[in-house]
Structure 1
């Protein structure tokens, strides 16, 4: 893991949605529409938020939503061209922002040139071995094979990760864009790719780019085991994401406490990517049953160990529900205004809360490796000690309709939120108002 990630806070953007790109690819002869500069105009907003990096969704030439790639070496013409990419990276780096790219290497779109050759030439196509194919209708030119796909989506053609030239291809793509200025890669659907494939690719790429960061999208499974087997720096912490909103909605903070205990174990071997929202899930402001608990979710995110990521719009309390249907992601991937001045006024208090909590994290950089210890726990109340080395903060949450007194040994002062210290020293207690929260120096 590169040392710089210990201070990272990502602002995650889904570019095609952000700039209002049309849902389907532009014809090659039509030329690019230069929309990346529009996103570039939001970099100062990200800096003011407190972010240290921009985690981009797909930006490479694709048929529709960006995850059906046509050409990994070409910027999607709905966004611009390579010159626009270079300018974006230069502008980000000038502001001290890292740039993380989204690599879709489990599958490609049906218009990926090597697969088009298969459809034209049959089993004799030069790169037919790049795909997992069967030929029930014959193997000659024009025969349409059956192919492995991603989670039942026929338009997403799975690559054959046992093929050495696929290893070469993916390593080459990753190397190319890192040399062009990117600082790392998010690897989409990493859980669907054999660990041995990532181990070979990442060893090769890391040898040339030792300061690059590699994040794998993993939803379920043995997070620590996957990191060990692949050479990834981190994986996405979906367990904690679910426990945050579910524990708050059900007023079952035992669920959150259990997830944080498991999170401690992950921190023994890697620093997970933590989040309360991303481009694949219902927004946190829509997910929470009680809007008074949004600050509670953010307090957990910024006090626990790991590398926090904020999905663009969540810092403005954007709402949006993901639906399991074609186009069901559209509500969580909206177009943004031309610049921050076009944002609605209601979201700015949540933006300022993000600023405050990110500022707290900057003052306590040891939080990247902090473990959480339960001090006081009921269904509706939770007090935690968040600690790493000599650093120590306390986090207290109350989901109830009445005020609550919680054990807070060592609490000295309120750093964020609202609370009253009842006593000091080892017997200290903190009094929270109804639906209150606080982060305390200790």
Structure 2
């Protein structure tokens, strides 16, 4: 067990939230202080957040994933003192901080690549990239290079270079030493060489031993077997895109069997269940996909969807602004998904999510428990989470009508951890429209 497993994570794309220019203008503006000055850290604390995932904060030419300097805070956000202040304020509020580690590729402004542009094969950093000296590119560099998914300005890093890997290890040690961060989100971890992931694991373990506390590695993965990137010698945990699709799709298609299959496959007790006991990062939206309030065809489904998110196995993550229902569609540049916002807002949905976080925080069964499906219908799903002597039944109704569910509760009475109301399991359990209950069995 580690500090991460009971966490409630919150994701912020700072270049977006803080209103930075889309292209780096070289002007130092202390925008990152907005997280402190405009109440975002207080908002997270009120919401019940215990882990902040900060997307790129280091120097880049545009969106942050085209790094120019891994050791310099992007001037559009501020400087090292600003980042240090934000991490310290989060820690004071009981919130851990993960930074985005973009180690699969760098931008054309990366100082090591600029040295290669100048010196070609004579550059001591030429081995840091996968270069074809017989090729050329649209900038007429006199050579070509491997990229991330064909994006010409995202230059693939060559992790067969020990010098590169040692440099990045020193970068990570510096981030932890200088800012006191608690771990990393590894961008496109599914693209990283497994040998390099194992190397990062050793660096993280070294840091963990020094600090006497887990230095977490969270890998961004899409689909496939997550065990390829997750384990004792790899990432501690990964992003759960597999369940993400089932979460919103089951609501839109009135087919809870879809997400039920994913949950059973991932967390059940059958021999084929892949991730039982592992705490994947669960989410309903993030900086790369449409806002969930846009994705859902019926906004009344937001509450049951978030109720399912906080009741399922794993660590729930909420993307900034989605807790009060802002919308955003995916488009070129994804700027609509990463908007500038002023002070955080609070409404009925935010209040609901805060209540879910409080209910989850008081239940070892929801945090660490096993998963057992009890009943599933097109618009309803009921499952039990069990840890030691605690049992909690999670019941979700995605219908506009009340529903009566019949299942073996193995208990006569339950207390809803969300509302505090007593529930009698005898004669069937009625669920209100668009509702979720977390019944702790007595």
User: What TM-score results when the alignment is normalised by the length of structure 2?
Assistant: 0.91
Q: Name the counterpart of 2:107.
A: 109
Give the Cα–Cα distance (whole angstroms) in 2 for the partners of residues 46 and 268 of structure 1: 29
2:54 aligns with 56
Q: Distance in 2 between matches of 1:179 and 1:396?
A: 44
Q: 3-state DSSP class of the match of 1:6?
A: coil
Q: Which residue of 1 aligns with 2:174?
A: 176
Q: Match of 1:120?
A: 118
The answer (yes or no) to whether the contact 1:417–1:437 under 8 Å persists in 2 is no
Q: Does 1:228 align with 2:231?
A: yes
Distance 1:177 1:94 in 2: 19
1:132-176 Cα distance to aligned partner (Å, 9 max, x none): 11123489xx85211111111111000001111121012111111
Q: 1:153 to 1:229 in 2, by over 3 A?
A: farther
SS in 2 for 1:80: coil
1:79 Cα deviation after fit: 0.5
Structure 1 unaligned blocks of 5 or more: none
**Shift in alpha-carbon separation, 1:361–1:96, aligned structure 2, 3 A:** same
1:383 aligns with 2:382: yes
Which deviations, in whole Å up to 9, do the C-alpha atoms of 1:343-383 show, x marking residues without a partner? 4xxx5111100110000011114422223221111222221
In the alignment, is residue 36 of structure 1 matched against residue 32 of structure 2? yes
**Aligned residues of 2:68 and 2:107 also touching (Cα < 8 A):** yes
Segment of structure 1 superposing worse, 5-14 or 76-85: 5-14
Give yes or no for contact 1:56–1:102 (8 Å, CA) kept in 2. yes
SS of 1:405 mapped into structure 2: strand
Q: Look up the match of 1:207.
A: 206
Equivalent runs, 1:294-373 vs 2, <5 Å: 294-323=302-331, 325=332, 327=333, 329-337=334-342, 339-340=343-344, 343=345, 348-373=347-372
Map of 2:270 onto structure 1: none
Q: 1:256 aligns with which of 254, 259, 269?
A: 259
Aligned residues: 424
Aligned counterpart, 1:132: 130
Match of 2:289 among 254, 278, 281: 281
CA deviations 1:299-328 (Å, max 9, x no partner) are 1111112122111111111111112x3x2x
Instruction: Determine helix, strand or coil for the equivalent of 2:224.
Output: coil
Q: After superposition, what is the alpha-carbon deviation per residue over 1:159-206, rounded to whole angstroms, capped at 9, x for unaligned?
A: 001111121012111111111211110000110011111101220332
The residue that corresponds to 1:158 in the other structure is 156
- Measured against aligned partners, the alpha-carbon deviations of 1:67-97 in whole angstroms (never above 9, x if no partner) come to 0000000000001111111111221111211
Shift of the 230–24 alpha-carbon distance from structure 1 to 2, 3 Å rule, reads farther
Asked if the contact 1:383–1:407 (Cα under 8 Å) also holds between the matched residues in 2, the reply is: no
Q: What secondary structure sits across from 1:5 in the alignment?
A: coil
| Aligned CA-pair RMSD | 2.1
Indicate whether 1:26 and 2:28 are aligned. Answer: no
Distance 1:355 1:402, change over 3 A: closer
Unmatched 5+ residue regions in structure 2?
Answer: 268-272
Which of residues 78, 91, 94 is equivalent to 1:93?
A: 91
Question: Aligned in 2, Cα 1:273/1:249: closer, same or farther, shift over 3 Å?
Answer: same
